[in-house]
Chain A
Amino acid sequence: MQLQSNAVTSDAQAVPVLELRGISKGFPGVKALDDVSLSLYPGQVTALIGENGAGKSTLVKVLTGIYRPDGGTIMVDGAETRFQTATDASDAGVTAIHQETVLFDELSVAENIFLGHAPRSRFGLMDWPRMRRDSRRILDRIGARIDPDVMLRDLGIASKHLVAIARALSVDARVVVMDEPTASLSQTEIEELYELVERLKAEGKAILFISHKFDEVFRIADRYTVFRDGQMVGAGLLADTSEDKLVELMVGRAMDQIFPDRTPELGDEVLRVDGYCHPTEFDDIGFGLRRGEILGFYGLVGAGRSEFMQALFGVTTPSAGTITLDGERIAVGSPADAIRKGIVYVPEDRGKQGAITALPIFQNVTLPSLGRISSRGFLQMAEEFRLARKYTERLDLRAAALDQNVGNLSGGNQQKVVIAKWLATMPKVIILDEPTKGIDVGSKAAVHEFMAELAAEGLSVIMVSSEIPEILGMSDRVIVMREGRIAARLDRAELSPERLVRAAAGIEEAA
């Protein structure tokens, strides 16, 4: 840390590659950015921190020329410039790796990397040999062992992410914007990404690193800028601050405790799963779950946790195994069965599996409870709004109106809609798959607190999470999965980050 901060101060006088001064951007009814400034220096990583809705995404769009700011100036190498189009920004050497970069499943890795700026041969046709060579060179540079000729659809989600990074680096960039690059990566892949960031730094690139995770911010960034409600509320060297101070800046109030204090009162066993198997995804999963318990499922991405949960919820069919709910053997052949029996699932992929973004909030909330808001199959609108209001208010949803489309809400509020939808069914067991992935710290704390509240009311909670603090802070008991099997069962007293990581990675317990 000492070494790093010395290095930073020594070239702090350097001219920023890119500087934003007094940038504002408004949308009807919202001021997304209000007089914000940001400087990016060569060879340094600047972390951009803020809750969802703080204006981070808008800033990225201004930086990459997708939005034109209403006011303020953009300086490149100390000279005032305008980014009228995305091409202007990319000509100035700004490239971005978005949360969900658009890639094409039906094209090869090389084609994805060079889409839109593929090298041409003399006759104006694609220069395939050069494209392959250059792709391999870029992939090697970021340490990705991926064949450029492979179709993208044959890659896993983490490899796709590396392709997205390779794509961003295929243009000669001087400023690299990384928008939550580690959100879908496993621990090993995150380590590899850190190495990549170090390499880019060494090459003298200026990096803007947007993240919700403080540990990684402190690990790889040199500087920080904090946004709140479209304004810049703080900036400086990370060496001069602390996690607590950053959180305070972010939420505008002191946050002495991140996870709710719980004294769980466990009841009888509600759910018992025995010998659940799937031909390819998981093998011999068995456990019990008691009333009021929060059971954590930890593991690396691809350990089979989500696949198992989806089988439990009836999306896929297991090849063997039984479920016992309240002492009674049940068969779950479809999600409709599971919901009727009282098992519900909040999926990891909110946009595709959880929320119906083009439909209004109230219709999303009442969807699995249509039977309760109708009589003889006819919808009762007053009942529908009453039910939707009851559960969205309970979750403190922030929306303009209940008939607003879910797609217009922030990630945290979308998640609240999905959770409200399931609570309205009055379930016995709720499965939360990465419940706070990609949502801001404020909503995260709200979801955690709410989870604790539900458990206290006697609901049994299964929480799948890849975030160690979340697992440690919330779970009464943890099951660690590795390669489709249960690798460890840990009680609250035995929990430690080291044990979790060792079990998930398959490393023997140190004597």
Chain B
Amino acid sequence: MSLADGTRPRHVPDHLTSRGQRVIRSWETLLVGVAVLIFLANTWASPYFLDPWNLSDATFNFTEKAMIGFAMALLIISGEIDLSVAGIIALASTAMGYALQFGVGTPGLVLIGISVGVACGAFNGVLVTRLGLPSIVVTIGTMSLFRGIAYIVLGDQAYNGYPSSFAFLGQGYVFWVITFELVVFLVLAVIYGIVLHATNFGRQIYVIGNNPTAALFSGVRVQRIKMILFLLTGLMSGIAAVCLTARLGSTRPSIAYAWELEIVTMVVLGGVSILGGAGSILGVVLAALVMGMVTFGLGLLNVPGIVMSIFIGGLLIGVIALPRLITLIRKGQI
């Protein structure tokens, strides 16, 4: 080596670009721009948008989905996916409603909802990590399985009559316009942000998503980490099921129908690579805000639901295509 002949090793700097450049070029900056634009457009389009209570209501459009979105982001970064999350909500909510018939109180209901979520996550995780099945196939299967059980139990019935202490979890306010759900969302965002970006565990998630073989060869316990991520996704689906059931005050088997696609959309819009290996929690938070504001703003303008989904779909494609378009134009290929 050059060290042997007494010369100093060449100096390699830590970073190629400055922190400022990295921030400006980031996906999150783009999302902040989009969020500001939508905020301004909403303020301009409807006089009711800038009301604190209305805005508070608007947060319900994303809080429950985003809770699952955080865990889903980790799972997708690791190269897996869970499409059964809405099915888990249906099954967890049905389990809570069933327990309600036997007079189980709020703490018991919460425990049951969360336990069912974790159990469903464990089921997915075992199928993927122990049997080595592809997660997209497994969770398409369990998506129908979990919701199917809810339909068998409930038929066209619904469970009602949740206690008022339970309702607080979905409808309660902690302070002024700040809802309990919003607090849960913010706390979870901080926790997930720290876990993904500042811990060994988070680092290993990125490594697995980028190259599972090299991860294994570097001593990363790939299957164990994936199992934990499926459990986490189940746990978050359970928590979301508690909040959503408490907010609606009833359980129907169609609860949270098709949420899995909205959650995956949120995660991808947040800049998480669907191929795994890249993404951030801040991106998911921003994507949640953007989607929440769009839904709420269009709702104020009495735009029907189907048009909203067209808008969200267009937004997703637009935001993802934009950076690619800029690159192509810069290269002079368009």
Contacts and interface: CB of A to CB of B under 8 A. Distances in A.
B45 interface: no
Nearest to B2: A396
B161 to A, nearest CB: 43
Contact of A334 (B200, B203, B206, B221): B221
A345 B217 CA distance: 8
B317 interface: no
A389 B1 contact: no
Contact of A356 (B12, B194, B215, B278): B215
Interface stretch (A38-46, A205-213, A377-385): A377-385
Contact of B10 (A339, A374, A398): A398
B157 interface: no
B25 interface: no
Contact of A336 (B4, B198, B221): B221
A461 B221 CA distance: 25
B32 interface: no
Interface string B186-198: 0000000010001
Given A396-B9, A402-B14, A449 B210 contact: no
Interface in A174-218: none
Interface string B167-210: 00000000000000000000000000010001111011011001
A103 interface: no
Contacts of A398: 10, 12
Nearest to B214: A356
B13 A401 contact: yes
A352 B206 contact: no
B16 A403 contact: yes
A203 to B, nearest CB: 40
Interface string B1-26: 11110000110111110000000000
A37 interface: no
Interface in A318-374: 334-336, 338-340, 345, 347, 352-359, 362-363, 367-368, 370-371, 374
A371 B204 CA distance: 12
B87 interface: no
B219 interface: yes
B101 interface: no
Q: Which of A339, A355, A393, A446 has the most CB of B within 10 A?
A: A393
Contacts of A392: 12
Interface in A124-171: none
Given A358-B210, A359-B207, A401 B16 contact: yes
A400 B194 CA distance: 29
A358 B207 CA distance: 9
A368 to B, nearest CB: 5
B302 interface: no
B221 to A, nearest CB: 6
A120 interface: no
B218 interface: yes
Nearest to A371: B200
13 contacts: A335-B219, A338-B219, A352-B211, A356-B207, A367-B220, A377-B200, A378-B200, A379-B198, A395-B1, A396-B1, A396-B3, A401-B16, A402-B14
Given A335-B216, A378-B200, A449-B1, 19 more contacts: A315-B216, A339-B218, A352-B211, A353-B214, A356-B207, A356-B214, A359-B210, A363-B206, A367-B203, A379-B198, A379-B199, A392-B12, A394-B3, A395-B1, A396-B10, A398-B12, A401-B15, A402-B13, A453-B1
